A and B are shown apart, each in its own frame.
Chain A
Amino acid sequence: MDIQDINGGAPDQALAVYSRAAYRAVGVPQVPGTLRWTLGGDTSPLRVEAGDAPDRVVVVSLHRSEQAGASTLTATFTPADSSPATSASIPLTVWAAQIEDAGGAALPTRTLGVGNLAHYRGVVQPPLQGVVVQATWQPAGQPGIAIARVGGQGLVDVLGQAATPDNADALLQLTLTLGGQQAKASQALTVFDLAIDWLAEGPDGLVPTGPFVGVGETRVGSARVRPESVLQVQPPPTWAWSAPEGLQPLGDTNAPNASFVATTAGADTPVRVALTLAASTVQAERRVTVFGVRIVGADEGTPSPSLPVGGQLALRAVIEPALPEARCIWSASGAISVLGADDQAVATGAQPSDSEGADAIALNVLMEGALAHALAPVTVYRAAITAPGGGTPTTQLPSSARQRYAVATEPALSSVAVSWAVQQGNAALAGATTQPQVELVTLGPSDRAGDIVLGVSVVPVDMPHGAPNATLAITAGSQRG
């Protein structure tokens, strides 16, 4: 006696879960008696249903077997005359499809970053030897994954394509075919992506801001993960921010939020954050332009540090990188008046500064809500010719005399260049003419009062001398005529 499948072929000894197989007994003795079908061994995964004839039976599978061949199907014929019974048995295994991690991890990954690959293997459980299993894969559920590559031995690479919404995962569906039986398995996948919110400090907290950052301004990069629920996965994610040299971190760059201060100009440079979660790494990038500004003088160098009352200084803004649409706002402190037009300005010394370095010209450059600034300190001074000790100078001299004079500035300046000259009249200078004091020699009587004019030019060191900043009218001898 033997057991065959219902069509007379080899009987299925491996049943997929939740399936049916029909069998019949062949070679049953042709004598009166009864044929009984029974399950043996681990009977929990199987049930038998009567076939449409006593020599036939249907076996229904439920859950999978713990191990291969742990169940048996037995057909037993007992003759009516009490002669010995005859039986036939086949082992049965109920198998299921299972998705495992291809790298051998205990559990397959259920979290995948966009642009990352996850690797799975479809297997039969319990393992069966000597069988040919065909695996097919397809995405299901929420869009978010694609099958990147199907390999032999049930292997598949899955690509994260798009973030899945909260509480709605993508599904990786496996179908295994063994013999005439099929079983399916699914793996839920949360696919996540990352973006950067670029924020500036506002009156009531952080507000979104554009790509421009002025040197000296601070910004916060805030990583936005979709879906947010993925951040609850254990182990917790790791973060890594990177920024170009012109953006200096102000704290931890291994956190979801990172703060930066702009230190040097740079156009269209990337701020990046990488999130590593469950073997996936996703990156986001935000491109920013850090701009800075310098104030230069007429010769494109550093503006003169001092300016006589009434003197003028031509200034220009140099914005780096060039931003033609940036708006320049010029201002100055009390001793200076400044007239600005776009990137150029003229500063005029209005009154002496309180002290050296007390005044400055400021430039603020605005670009789409970002601000850079520069400062050019300028001391406004007034020069005066005094007596050598600083008192009132002598203006009436003998017609042949020598007299020393000094120059003083208001306020005192630490570093200036001095140049004396007799502007007109019958007099000359003796000795050095570039020191704070000078000796005037009268060469004869004046034709009229005050016809000798002593002048002094006081300028910042390395600046050319121009017209005198101070003059003194002197009379030599008795006035003639």
Chain B
Amino acid sequence: MPSFRLATWNSGGEAGGRGAQLAAAVNATNLTPPLVRLVLNQEAKVAVAPVGSIRAQLTGGAAPFANFVVPPDHPRELGPGQPFAVGVNRAYTVAWDPVGAGALVSAGPAARIALAPVPAPAANAIETYITGLGLGPAAANQLRQAARNIRAPVRKVFTLTTPGAPPVVHTIYVYTWHAELQANWLGATWATVGLGANPFVGPGMYPAFQFFQRAAQYQADLAAVTANDVIVIAGDLNITGADLNNNAATIFPNYVATSNNLSHVLAYSPSGALNIAQAWHFVTPYPPHSIITAEVQW
């Protein structure tokens, strides 16, 4: 049964002792096997010089990140073609351990996926979804602008080889996301567009999840994933565990998940052994997000 362990944290920047907090959490996690092989950081510092405390830990060459790879170019949470984006534009850091048994092998650079609706020459799934809601032009356009300007997930693909005769190569489709708050897109609430009450009780943005699930890249990964593989979505999704559970039919159905406050790790595989184990969270002096570590098994 393949598995790997990850840590995810919206650190709110990299100032102060955040790096030390992350190292302590991963060290504590690593007291039981397997070791954490993947670190996902949302709201990471954009500039790599002067280096932020988290990047410094990840690249410092010391345990628990001694062999970690941390590319110098890391995607920003918002892109240049988003003129109406809201909020401080920080970055995602995706760092991984490529060494030893259970190592993750990068299968391409991390990159934001596209959430914008495309109407022509053929409408993409996001545009089709919006027009299919039967809204007037003003309401539909609010959703279109939201889809164009919200923070998009970052995708990175790894492979993991498990021993066997022959060895089995597993593909891990990793998405990390700092999802939007609904309060930033009040014109795109279910109530304001005329579709009724907000399905979320907490601060999350329901339409954002609909855009993500209809993104072409995500749909392609969903079609490609086999029982040997897994899709992992981890980060600060800005929804509560209750909202995630209560909307399981329309938000990442068939995923397993572990949650702490607004941060989550979700996983999907056709494998019958899909599971999230050793799910821990570590409270830090930097509220409101804890560090989550978890082992994804499939």
Contact = CB atoms under 8 A, between A and B. Distances in A.
Interface of A: 201, 203-205, 215-216, 218, 220, 248, 250-252, 255, 257-259, 261-263, 292, 302, 305-306, 331, 333, 355-358, 360, 362, 373-375, 377-379, 411-415, 460-461
B120 A205 contact: no
Contacts of B140: 356-357, 414
Contact of B144 (A255, A357, A460): A357
Most-contacted residue by chain A among B87, B181, B183, B184 (CB, 10 A): B183
Interface stretch (B31-39, B131-139, B225-233): B131-139
A290 to B, nearest CB: 10
A375 B84 contact: yes
Contacts of A262: 183
A205 B187 contact: no
Contact of B86 (A205, A216, A250, A415): A216
B186 A215 contact: yes
A305 B261 contact: no
Nearest to A292: B186
Interface string B137-181: 110111011001000000000000000000000000000000001
B142 A377 contact: yes
Nearest to B18: A205
Contacts of B138: 302, 305, 377
Interface residues of B, number: 38
Interface of B: 12-13, 15-16, 83-84, 86-88, 117-120, 131, 136-138, 140-142, 144-145, 148, 181-184, 186-187, 202-203, 238, 261-262, 286-289
Given A305-B141, A355-B120, A356-B119, A251 B287 contact: yes
Contacts of A373: 86
A357 B141 CA distance: 5
A351 to B, nearest CB: 16
15 contacts: A201-B88, A205-B15, A205-B286, A215-B186, A216-B183, A216-B186, A248-B202, A252-B288, A261-B183, A357-B145, A377-B138, A377-B145, A379-B141, A412-B119, A412-B120
B203 A248 contact: yes
B137 A204 contact: no
Question: Secondary structure of the B side of the interface?
Answer: loop
A329 B186 CA distance: 19
Nearest to A371: B86
B141 A259 contact: no
Contacts of B145: 357, 360, 375, 377
Contacts of B88: 201, 203
A333 B120 CA distance: 20
Nearest to A259: B288
Nearest to B14: A204
Nearest to A306: B137
B288 A356 contact: no
A306 B137 CA distance: 9
Q: Sort A-B residue pairs by CB-CB distance and give the 6 closest, nearest first.
A: A377-B141, A357-B144, A251-B288, A357-B141, A259-B288, A204-B15
Contacts of A411: 119-120
B137 A305 contact: yes
A357 B289 CA distance: 35
Contact of A263 (B12, B183, B261): B183
A302 B261 CA distance: 36
Contact of A356 (B13, B83, B87, B141): B141
Contacts of B86: 216, 373
Contacts of A460: 137
A374 B187 CA distance: 8
Contacts of B286: 205
A466 B261 CA distance: 54
B11 to A, nearest CB: 10
Given A248-B203, A257-B287, A305-B137, 19 more contacts: A201-B13, A205-B16, A216-B184, A220-B287, A248-B183, A250-B238, A252-B287, A261-B203, A356-B141, A357-B117, A357-B140, A360-B84, A362-B84, A373-B86, A379-B141, A413-B137, A414-B137, A414-B140, A415-B136
Nearest to B52: A204
Nearest to A378: B141
A201 B288 contact: no
Contacts of B262: 250-251
Given A306-B137, A414-B137, A250 B183 contact: no
B288 A250 contact: yes
Contacts of B142: 375, 377
A236 to B, nearest CB: 14
Contacts of A204: 13, 15-16
Nearest to A205: B15
Contacts of B119: 355-356, 411-412
Contacts of B203: 248, 250, 261, 263
A159 to B, nearest CB: 33
B15, B119, B288, B289 — most chain A CB neighbours (10 Å): B288
Nearest to B144: A357
Contacts of B83: 331, 333, 362
A362 B84 CA distance: 7
A367 B148 CA distance: 27
A216 B187 CA distance: 12
Contact of A379 (B131, B137, B181, B186): B137
Contacts of A305: 136-138, 141
A255 B84 contact: no
